[in-house]
Amino acid sequence: MSFVLGFVALLLWSRVTNSDPQINLLQDGCSLHNVTNSSAFAATFNDTLDDLRSSISGSNSSLFATSHRPALQSVYSLFQCRGYLSAADCLACFSAAEGHIRRCGAADGGRVIYDGCFLRYESIPFFDQVTPLQNENSCDGRNATTGGFTTSVRSLVEDLSAATPRIPKFFAAVAREGVFAVAQCVETLSEEGCEQCLTAEVSNVMLCLPSTDGRALDVGCFMRYSDESFFPANRTVDLSPYLTNSYSGRSKSSNKWALIGGVAGGVGFLLLLLVVISLLWIRRSRVQRGPPKGDISRGTKFQSLLNFRYKDLKNATNNFSEKNKIGEGGFGDVYQGHLKNGRTVAVKRLAIAQSSRARADFQSEVKLISNIHHRNLVRLLGYSSKHEDFLLVYEYMANSSLDKFIFGDKRGFLNWGQRYGIIVGMARGLSYLHQEFHVRIIHRDIKCSNILLDDDFQPRVADFGLARLLPEDKTHLSTTFAGTFGYTAPEYAIHGQLSEKVDTYSYGIVVLEIISGRQCNDLKLEPVTQYLRDWAWKLHEQDRLLQMVDETLDPSDYSPEEVKRIIKIALLCTQFTVAARPTMSETVVLLLSQTDVALQPTRPTLIDASKMIYEEAIE
């Protein structure tokens, strides 16, 4: 029987051709609001669509985005094909979407979603949007003839929802037990955003059962199942490496063993019930007494912030000894600490004024920071403020900070793949702080020493939110903090003008450091008398960008075109004019779009801005 099913599936698969752009319309819509200047918008909108078409024609990527920001009207656009479409079909799907979305006229936003692709534009950034309330499903009119199909669909879409956020490019196509299914998230989302979107889509697509073809669609993700193949056989993905442990134990045994397990389970249920009741009684008594301070051995990622005893942290860090010091910076020194429960943590001793107002601000800001959870941000575990010192307790990063791997004693260890992952992860973390968290947080001090690396060399931005603790009459841009001025945007360092684009500028400088292996203001490195950004601009104008690539990188390990594209993005981030810099969410899109059509950085008016900033600051 399994052979027959397999043979039938193979026949169905053979019906899939390479000339099907899959332009079955699933959803379309236009904004109810029109732009204020229709002629300016039309010109910008046409340029946007032209850029998208050029990007698709010159790349094998499935994600394309542009960000036009003229003075009168902004246009942000995003186009993505399903991961199984050929390059020709992707272009054909775009042509259909382009013609359809032009029906929106002067509306300031619109979208069209086909089976094979989607196109969206807005007058404001939307690249990190997960899901609005208008998510939908689309079902065909046929019903499955057996209950086994419904069971197989439920199992497969649940596995897709669990695995896809962990798969590169957030795309998976699977054929299993006569069911063909795909799941895809927009690549500009974070892993958490993809997971959130697909969780909602599982519920939506289930509503189609017992129909033999169902879809769930949203601005952030797409899911489809069918009893007929709709993607090539060579695009399938093995989900098993990406599934969580909760799925690894899924029963695959026969009915015989299921019956035996059911009988045994029935007998064991009574014993388990007694054990659970006993444990709940014990736990209740412990909760009533209250947990010991500083004990996080039983914590989960949703555990509330802990108020540590000062003496416990003092003992954990060996009285804040120099031997335990693992870092220092503008906000204070950092010490490695070993708690009584065996957990290793990082304890930051803040260098801020002691006053009742400072203490109140500290507790308020700490509470705010504790609500921030993102895979690319260092997690705050607890604090201590009842002593003369203000202490923050963070998760410990065994691989320390990025600066040690870029121009420190571990230089040359990171390959291009790891560096690219760090570049993207940093952008995702900053985008979350700027636009996804309910309070906008501007870091103000992005540099390699404030980027920590976890066990998998994924970046974790540190020290976010701490600038808000500083007194208003004191800036953290002090000459005692080496290297800060090379990273600081000119409008902030010279005029004190603060916006999220300050972080964008600093991010661009760090990206140049990651690629070159050279510190931004280290004149001891060749070429002499040139700051890193100035050097990059000159190489860009001379079309010699590859000359700045770190000599420790293996040339066979990276694509020259990809490296040049990332450098151009960094230069775009370091534009002298604030409005010319992308937001961090737009930067994420540029990093993932695999095209440089929209990358047209212009040489800053003040080419030696970083040098001028440094000199003016120390005067």
Q: What is the pLDDT of residue 586?
A: 87
Q: For residue 407, give the H/E element and its range.
A: none
HEC string of 72-98 equals CCCEEEEEEECCCCCHHHHHHHHHHHH
- Output the pLDDT for position 185: 93
- Give the residue ranges of the chain where pLDDT is below 70: 1-18, 58-61, 69-72, 131-135, 141, 244-305, 329-330, 351-361, 467-484, 522-530, 594-599, 603-619
3-state DSSP percent of the chain in helix, strand and coil, to 5: 45, 15, 40
Taking alpha carbons only, the member of 209, 113, 85, 230 closest to residue 158 is 209
Which residue among the candidates 115, 227, 389, 445 is catalytic per the annotation? 445
Q: pLDDT tens, 351-395?
A: 665 656 666 667 777 878 888 888 899 988 888 877 777 889 999
Per the annotation, the verdict on 159 as an active-site residue is no
Q: How distant, in Å, are the alpha carbons of 152, 158, 171 from that of 247?
A: 15, 9, 19
Structure tokens at 318: 């060996």
pLDDT at 300: 31
Set out the domains of the chain in order of their start, with CATH numbers: 25-122 (3.30.430.20), 135-248 (3.30.430.20), 308-396 (3.30.200.20), 401-618 (1.10.510.10)
Hey, CA dihedral for 427, 433, 438, 441, is it positive or negative?
negative
Tokens standing for residue 586: 């737009």
The confidence score (pLDDT) of residue 525 equals 54
User: pLDDT digits over 465-492, tens only?
Assistant: 776 655 443 433 333 333 367 888 888 8
Measured CA to CA, the distance from residue 274 to residue 607 in angstroms comes to: 74
Cα dihedral sign, 229-234-240-244: negative
3 state SS for 480-542: CCCCHHHHCCHHHHHHCCCCCHHHHHHHHHHHHHHHHCCCCCCCCCCCCCCCHHHHHHHHHHC
Question: What pLDDT was estimated at residue 289?
Answer: 37
- The DSSP H or E segment spanning 2 is helix 2-14
Q: Rounded CA gap, 107 and 52, in Å?
A: 19
